[in-house]
Structure 1
Amino acid sequence: MNLKNKRKLAARALGVGANRIKFDPNYLEDVEDAITRADMRSLLTARTILIKSIKGTSRGRARIKHAKEKKRGKGKGSKEGKKSARQGKKELWVTKVRAYRRYLKVLKDRKEISNKVFWSLYRRIKGGQVRSLAHLRSLVEEEKRKQV
């Protein structure tokens, strides 16, 4: 008996692909008699029609590779090339500048510095005159002392 159309009907009724539909070989006559979507749904509840589970991509190899990478030494002695070969100079600059600007914005929102001071320091950050966050803090303190 050809159950190709029954498989298609079951797939449409159950909302899965036709390749995932499996009929119980002991009850093929019941499948042949089923002609409506409701019949297909009732056969699913009666476990005459089974839906195969989806086969995904196995992550087994990826897990093994990750474990190997974690095992390898990443200490000072294993590093090759300049620091800028691992993280680009521009990337480093962008992260630093963003941190400085975030800190400045917090100070301005708290009303610890005026708008004028904010923009003068903002321009100094852009010009590369600020070495670190600690240096920025000292510059802020200087500006506060100048105002008093």
Structure 2
Amino acid sequence: MNLTTQKRLAASILKVGLNRVWIDPEQIDEVSRAITRENVNQLINDGVIKAKPKKGISSFRSKKIAEQKKKGKRKGRGSIKGAKNARSPKKQVWMTTIRALRKDLKQMREDEEINATTYRKLYKMAKGGAFKSKSYMKTYARDHDLIK
């Protein structure tokens, strides 16, 4: 039995798409006799024609992934997008390094491991980018007999 007209009318009345119109399979004969909008509306009121519920999108998988990322998973080489400097800009790396070096220099000066002249020399070298880490700077100072 062709119920396309009834389905179209029902969809229009229920304000849903054609795929969401449900017709009771036991009362198809009754539905096929409904040819006017009023007849279809009556069938909707009787519960012969209904709108199927909306299908939602499950967020289970996205929640699971978010939970794993929170734990530090899914961060391997294959997940990395963007260049090295896009993920941690050069300036940010420089700021982190230089702040650590300067903090360490101040501490060494306060603890009197180095004098003011040596402090100034190492400070200038650090600013010039001579040391890439605190350990490099300390090694340099030890090798050149700058630490007391």
Normalising by the residue count of structure 1, what TM-score does the alignment of the two structures yield?
A: 0.50
Structure with max Cα Rg: 2
Normalising by the residue count of structure 2, what TM-score does the alignment of the two structures yield?
A: 0.50
